[in-house]
Protein backbone atom coordinates (compact mmCIF):
# COMPACT_ATOMS: atom_id res chain seq x y z
CA UNK A 1 0.00 0.00 0.00
CA UNK A 2 1.25 3.47 -0.85
CA UNK A 3 1.97 5.92 1.95
CA UNK A 4 -0.84 8.47 2.03
CA UNK A 5 0.17 11.92 0.85
CA UNK A 6 -0.72 13.51 4.18
CA UNK A 7 1.50 11.23 6.27
CA UNK A 8 4.28 11.50 3.70
CA UNK A 9 4.86 15.06 4.95
CA UNK A 10 6.37 13.72 8.18
CA UNK A 11 9.84 14.67 9.35
CA UNK A 12 11.97 11.74 10.49
CA UNK A 13 15.09 12.09 12.54
CA UNK A 14 17.33 9.90 14.64
CA UNK A 15 16.75 9.94 18.39
CA UNK A 16 19.70 9.89 20.77
CA UNK A 17 18.79 8.49 24.18
CA UNK A 18 20.51 9.89 27.24
CA UNK A 19 20.23 7.50 30.22
CA UNK A 20 20.17 10.45 32.62
CA UNK A 21 17.05 11.79 30.88
CA UNK A 22 15.32 8.49 30.04
CA UNK A 23 12.73 6.30 31.75
CA UNK A 24 11.33 2.92 30.72
CA UNK A 25 7.52 2.88 30.98
CA UNK A 26 5.90 -0.57 31.02
CA UNK A 27 2.19 -0.48 30.26
CA UNK A 28 -0.29 -2.93 31.84
CA UNK A 29 1.86 -6.05 31.99
CA UNK A 30 -0.39 -7.38 34.74
CA UNK A 31 -2.00 -10.73 35.49
CA UNK A 32 -5.43 -9.59 34.29
CA UNK A 33 -4.19 -9.13 30.72
CA UNK A 34 -1.51 -11.82 30.56
CA UNK A 35 -2.15 -14.83 32.77
CA UNK A 36 -4.71 -17.66 32.66
CA UNK A 37 -7.59 -16.63 34.87
CA UNK A 38 -7.40 -13.00 33.82
CA UNK A 39 -10.60 -11.45 32.52
CA UNK A 40 -9.06 -9.98 29.35
CA UNK A 41 -6.03 -12.10 28.48
CA UNK A 42 -4.14 -11.09 25.34
CA UNK A 43 -2.99 -14.28 23.60
CA UNK A 44 0.74 -14.50 22.93
CA UNK A 45 1.91 -12.09 25.63
CA UNK A 46 4.78 -14.48 26.37
CA UNK A 47 6.39 -13.59 23.04
CA UNK A 48 7.02 -10.09 24.39
CA UNK A 49 8.89 -11.21 27.50
CA UNK A 50 12.42 -11.64 26.05
CA UNK A 51 12.44 -8.13 24.59
CA UNK A 52 10.84 -6.60 27.67
CA UNK A 53 13.16 -8.26 30.15
CA UNK A 54 16.19 -7.26 28.06
CA UNK A 55 15.05 -3.63 28.02
CA UNK A 56 14.33 -3.62 31.76
CA UNK A 57 17.65 -5.30 32.59
CA UNK A 58 19.61 -2.74 30.59
CA UNK A 59 17.67 0.09 32.18
CA UNK A 60 18.55 -1.21 35.63
CA UNK A 61 22.24 -1.48 34.75
CA UNK A 62 22.22 2.12 33.53
CA UNK A 63 20.22 3.41 36.51
CA UNK A 64 17.36 4.31 34.16
CA UNK A 65 14.07 4.41 36.12
CA UNK A 66 11.60 1.61 35.44
CA UNK A 67 7.94 2.61 35.70
CA UNK A 68 5.23 -0.03 35.86
CA UNK A 69 1.86 1.41 34.87
CA UNK A 70 -1.06 -0.57 36.27
CA UNK A 71 -4.65 -0.45 35.06
CA UNK A 72 -6.66 -0.57 38.29
CA UNK A 73 -10.31 0.06 39.12
CA UNK A 74 -12.33 0.44 42.29
CA UNK A 75 -15.33 -1.74 42.88
CA UNK A 76 -18.87 -0.41 42.90
CA UNK A 77 -18.27 2.64 40.75
CA UNK A 78 -21.49 3.96 39.27
CA UNK A 79 -19.89 4.64 35.90
CA UNK A 80 -16.29 3.58 35.32
CA UNK A 81 -15.54 4.92 31.85
CA UNK A 82 -13.37 1.97 30.82
CA UNK A 83 -16.15 -0.39 31.76
CA UNK A 84 -18.55 1.41 29.44
CA UNK A 85 -16.66 -0.17 26.53
CA UNK A 86 -14.81 -3.06 28.17
CA UNK A 87 -15.86 -5.87 30.50
CA UNK A 88 -15.20 -5.03 34.17
CA UNK A 89 -11.57 -5.83 34.95
CA UNK A 90 -8.54 -4.92 37.02
CA UNK A 91 -10.04 -4.65 40.49
CA UNK A 92 -7.61 -2.80 42.74
CA UNK A 93 -5.54 -4.64 45.34
CA UNK A 94 -6.16 -8.07 43.80
CA UNK A 95 -4.10 -10.66 41.94
CA UNK A 96 -5.41 -9.16 38.70
CA UNK A 97 -3.52 -5.88 39.11
CA UNK A 98 -0.16 -7.37 40.08
CA UNK A 99 2.73 -6.99 37.61
CA UNK A 100 3.50 -10.39 36.11
CA UNK A 101 6.32 -12.29 37.78
CA UNK A 102 8.04 -12.80 34.41
CA UNK A 103 9.28 -9.20 34.58
CA UNK A 104 10.67 -9.55 38.12
CA UNK A 105 9.52 -6.13 39.35
CA UNK A 106 11.64 -4.59 42.10
CA UNK A 107 10.14 -3.02 45.23
CA UNK A 108 11.78 0.29 44.39
CA UNK A 109 10.43 0.47 40.83
CA UNK A 110 8.00 3.30 40.26
CA UNK A 111 4.37 2.22 40.09
CA UNK A 112 1.67 4.40 38.57
CA UNK A 113 -1.99 3.50 38.97
CA UNK A 114 -4.26 4.56 36.12
CA UNK A 115 -8.03 4.40 35.75
CA UNK A 116 -8.18 5.21 32.04
CA UNK A 117 -6.25 4.07 28.97
CA UNK A 118 -3.51 6.70 29.10
CA UNK A 119 -0.84 6.48 31.79
CA UNK A 120 -0.85 10.28 31.94
CA UNK A 121 -4.58 10.95 32.28
CA UNK A 122 -5.13 12.30 35.82
CA UNK A 123 -2.17 10.38 37.26
CA UNK A 124 1.06 11.75 38.72
CA UNK A 125 3.27 10.26 35.98
CA UNK A 126 4.09 13.60 34.37
CA UNK A 127 4.88 15.16 37.75
CA UNK A 128 7.14 12.24 38.71
CA UNK A 129 8.99 12.39 35.40
CA UNK A 130 9.53 16.11 35.71
CA UNK A 131 10.80 15.71 39.28
CA UNK A 132 13.30 13.17 37.93
CA UNK A 133 14.22 15.48 35.05
CA UNK A 134 13.12 12.88 32.53
CA UNK A 135 12.07 13.97 29.05
CA UNK A 136 12.69 10.78 27.03
CA UNK A 137 10.47 7.73 27.37
CA UNK A 138 10.77 4.14 26.16
CA UNK A 139 7.16 2.93 26.18
CA UNK A 140 6.00 -0.66 25.67
CA UNK A 141 3.51 -3.26 26.90
CA UNK A 142 -0.12 -4.07 26.16
CA UNK A 143 -2.05 -3.27 24.25
CA UNK A 144 -0.50 -1.28 21.44
CA UNK A 145 -3.70 0.10 19.95
CA UNK A 146 -5.32 1.12 23.24
CA UNK A 147 -3.25 1.89 26.33
CA UNK A 148 0.21 2.07 24.75
CA UNK A 149 -1.04 4.31 21.98
CA UNK A 150 -3.01 6.57 24.34
CA UNK A 151 0.03 6.96 26.58
CA UNK A 152 2.30 7.79 23.63
CA UNK A 153 -0.15 10.42 22.39
CA UNK A 154 -0.24 12.16 25.75
CA UNK A 155 3.54 11.90 26.16
CA UNK A 156 3.97 13.65 22.82
CA UNK A 157 1.46 16.37 23.76
CA UNK A 158 3.36 16.91 27.02
CA UNK A 159 6.69 17.38 25.25
CA UNK A 160 8.43 14.03 25.72
CA UNK A 161 10.57 12.28 23.13
CA UNK A 162 9.06 8.81 22.84
CA UNK A 163 10.32 5.58 21.33
CA UNK A 164 8.27 2.39 21.13
CA UNK A 165 10.13 -0.92 20.65
CA UNK A 166 7.73 -2.81 18.41
CA UNK A 167 8.81 -6.28 19.53
CA UNK A 168 7.98 -5.40 23.15
CA UNK A 169 4.34 -4.49 22.35
CA UNK A 170 1.29 -6.41 21.23
CA UNK A 171 -2.06 -5.23 19.92
CA UNK A 172 -5.45 -6.89 19.71
CA UNK A 173 -4.56 -8.12 16.22
CA UNK A 174 -2.01 -7.76 13.38
CA UNK A 175 -3.98 -5.01 11.64
CA UNK A 176 -4.19 -2.96 14.83
CA UNK A 177 -0.51 -3.48 15.60
CA UNK A 178 0.62 -2.34 12.17
CA UNK A 179 -1.75 0.62 12.01
CA UNK A 180 -0.94 1.86 15.51
CA UNK A 181 2.82 1.60 15.05
CA UNK A 182 2.55 3.37 11.70
CA UNK A 183 0.62 6.25 13.25
CA UNK A 184 3.00 6.49 16.23
CA UNK A 185 6.04 6.54 13.95
CA UNK A 186 4.44 9.06 11.61
CA UNK A 187 2.87 11.49 14.06
CA UNK A 188 3.88 10.97 17.69
CA UNK A 189 7.31 9.42 18.22
CA UNK A 190 9.75 6.81 17.01
CA UNK A 191 9.22 3.09 16.45
CA UNK A 192 12.19 0.76 16.58
CA UNK A 193 13.28 -2.67 17.91
CA UNK A 194 14.36 -3.55 21.41
CA UNK A 195 17.95 -4.25 20.36
CA UNK A 196 18.32 -0.83 18.78
CA UNK A 197 16.77 0.88 21.80
CA UNK A 198 19.13 -0.97 24.15
CA UNK A 199 22.10 0.10 22.05
CA UNK A 200 20.83 3.68 22.07
CA UNK A 201 20.48 3.66 25.86
CA UNK A 202 24.10 2.53 26.04
CA UNK A 203 25.03 5.57 24.00
CA UNK A 204 26.52 3.52 21.19
CA UNK A 205 23.72 4.04 18.68
CA UNK A 206 20.90 6.38 17.76
CA UNK A 207 17.32 5.23 17.28
CA UNK A 208 16.26 5.41 13.66
CA UNK A 209 12.51 5.73 13.23
CA UNK A 210 11.35 2.58 11.47
CA UNK A 211 8.02 3.53 9.95
CA UNK A 212 5.97 0.35 9.43
CA UNK A 213 4.41 -0.16 6.00
CA UNK A 214 1.15 1.71 5.45
- 85 in active site: no
Residue 114 annotated as catalytic:
yes
| Active-site annotation holds for 28 | yes
At residue 78, the 3 state secondary structure works out as coil
Task: Give Cα 62 to chain centroid, integer Å.
Answer: 19
Exposure of 48 by Cβ count < 10 A (0-12 exposed, 13-18 middle, 19+ buried)? buried
Catalytic residue (one of 71, 147, 154, 161): 147
Cα 143-189-149 angle, rounded to 5 deg: 20
- The one catalytic residue among 34, 109, 114, 183: 114
Reduced to 3 states (helix: H, G, I; strand: E, B; else coil), residue 68 is strand
Active site residues: 28, 114, 147
Amino acid sequence: MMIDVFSAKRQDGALTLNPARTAVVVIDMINEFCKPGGKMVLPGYEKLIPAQTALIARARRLDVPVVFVIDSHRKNMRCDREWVKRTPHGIENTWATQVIDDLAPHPDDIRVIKHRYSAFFQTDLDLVMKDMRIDQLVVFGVVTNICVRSTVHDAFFLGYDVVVPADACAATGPREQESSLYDIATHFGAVSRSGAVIAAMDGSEVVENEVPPA
